[in-house]
Structure 1
Amino acid sequence: MIHKSFRFITASALLALPLVALSIQSVLAETEAVTFTLTNNSTRVLEAFYASPPSTDDWEEDILGVDVLAPGESVKITINDGREDCKYDFKGRLGPSEDGTVGSGELIESAVEVCDGGTYGYSGGN
């Protein structure tokens, strides 16, 4: 009798393992890192670039760090914040124009979807 019960429990546990693995895989798939290519489509140097969930008013750290992105240059960006969706607010800070006719400035774009691993072109109003 005990032997049959143990066999039933073992069989039930083995049958449940694929369901547990599938559930873990599903959770991991929902919170994967978001990777996209940022391209500076403006005529000025992109000095800083920030991303933040649309649900917050706070900006994260400058993604470019100490680097800058010259006009026409691209960089691969990875955001690994564990969020389930892939919409972000982006803020870029452009340096002044080379001829000095335009000063530094910032532009914010809200609820940008970057799930597909494509390219986000920052224009910044040139």
Structure 2
Amino acid sequence: MRVFKFVSFALLALTLLFTSASTVSALDRRVRIVNDTDYAIIRFYGSNKGSDSWEEDILGDDILASGDSIVIDFDDGSGYCKFDFKAEFDDGDVLEKRNVNVCKIGTFTYN
């Protein structure tokens, strides 16, 4: 009977572990980036907390003009919810925001 209880408990624990892992990976990581400043964002980076670099410019050849927004899917396959953002503006300013939880927010506004 004791072995049965242990096996049942182990199976329950594994089920909860896999359910939690699949729930995390299924979280919506899409975020609307809003430029509510007077300047265009010419480069934008979003790197997960496990990364040691800014990766590539998400905007590529595009810009995010004043008053515009863009939806970015931060699901990079890593499972991370916390990302660092870096926006470079056409007036030379650079703004960084660390530990943005993309699983919990739907909009991030620069103003």
- TM-score band (shorter)? 0.7 to 0.9
Provide the aligned length of Structure 1 versus Structure 2: 97
Which of 75, 80, 88 is matched with 2:83 structurally? 88
Tell me which stretches of 4 or more aligned residues in structure 1 moved more than 4 Å. none
SS at match of 1:30: helix
CA distance in 1, matches of 2:69, 2:84: 19
CA distance in 1, matches of 2:81, 2:25: 9
Kindly report which structure 2 residues correspond to 1:1-126, keeping only aligned pairs within 5 A, or say none: 23=18, 26-32=20-26, 34-96=29-91, 104-123=92-111
Structure 1 residue 49: deviation in Å? 0.5
CA distance in 2, matches of 1:117, 1:107: 19
TM-score, normalising length: structure 1: 0.65
Q: Is contact 1:37-1:117 (8 Å) kept?
A: no
Structure 1 residue 117: deviation in Å? 4.8
* Unaligned stretches of 5+ residues in structure 1: 1-15, 97-103
Structure 1 residue 50: deviation in Å? 0.2
* Unaligned stretches of 5+ residues in structure 2: 1-10
Change beyond 3 A, Cα 1:109–1:74? same
Task: Out of 64-73 and 30-39, give the one that drifted further.
Answer: 30-39
| Aligned AA (1:116) | K
TM-score, normalising length: structure 2: 0.73
The share of aligned pairs that are identical, in percent, is: 36
Larger radius of gyration: 1
Give the aligned CA root-mean-square deviation in angstroms: 2.3
